[in-house]
Amino acid sequence: MPPNNPQPTIEPATRDDLEAVTDLWVRLAHDQRQHDSAVRADPNRETMRETLAAYQVADGLLVARLAGEIVGFASVTIERGSLELDSTRGLLSNIYVEPAFRDRGIGAALLDAAEAAAAERGADEVLLEVMADNEAARRFYQREGYDEFRVTMSRSLENRDENDTHSKEDG
């Protein structure tokens, strides 16, 4: 008798997985639009496919399979910059689980595998970004032991005069 809650297989993506993972990334980008992401999903499809291919070649693209079907993915790399740092940081750039397969531990399994992949490459910690109003994602990462590290702030420059705290008359 098969288990009621089959566990996913988390493994490195193959080249043959790139189209399916790119499709998932487009869904992720569409989902993030509701949280004020400026990333356009469909126009960035081919660029992201190339980016995901680079992750795949570097063993930084992981997939979650359930009954042979890809139901989620994560991409992780090591931060490369020109500054000397006190630690080596892994960067989790994407993690996504199809909505129909959420709340089954698949996201946690992907995150664990991404952390292990970063640690194998010498990372001491993992950084990630999450949209400020994506409460579900923030709760997920907090449950998994992540704390706020850096806060990014933004301001629209479209109507700067309307946003000024002092009117021009105050001179």
The residues, any chain, with a CB within 8 Å of residue 5's CB and separated by 6 or more, are 104
∠ Cα 50 55 57 (to 5°): 90
Any idea where the domains of the chain sit in the sequence? Answer: 9-144
From 2.160.10.10, 3.40.630.30, 3.40.50.620, 3.40.640.10, which CATH number describes the 9-144 domain?
3.40.630.30
Higher pLDDT, 39 or 51: 51
Coil, strand or helix at 68: coil
Q: Are 62 and 12 within 8 A, CB to CB?
A: yes
Percentage above 90 pLDDT, the chain: 47
* Identity of the residue numbered 5: N
Half-sphere exposure of 94 (CA within 13 A, CB side): 26
Helices 18-33 and 45-57 pack at an angle, to 10 degrees, of: 130
Query: pTM for this structure?
Result: 0.79
Report residue 32's pLDDT band, with 50, 70 and 90 as the boundaries: confident
Q: In whole numbers, what is the pLDDT of the chain averaged over residues?
A: 84
pLDDT in tens, 56-88: 998 899 999 998 899 999 999 998 877 677 788
Dihedrals phi, psi of 77, to nearest 5 degrees: -145, 175
Kindly tell me if the per-residue pLDDT of 95 is higher than 60: yes
Q: Are 64 and 108 within 8 A, CB to CB?
A: no
pLDDT of residue 133: 85
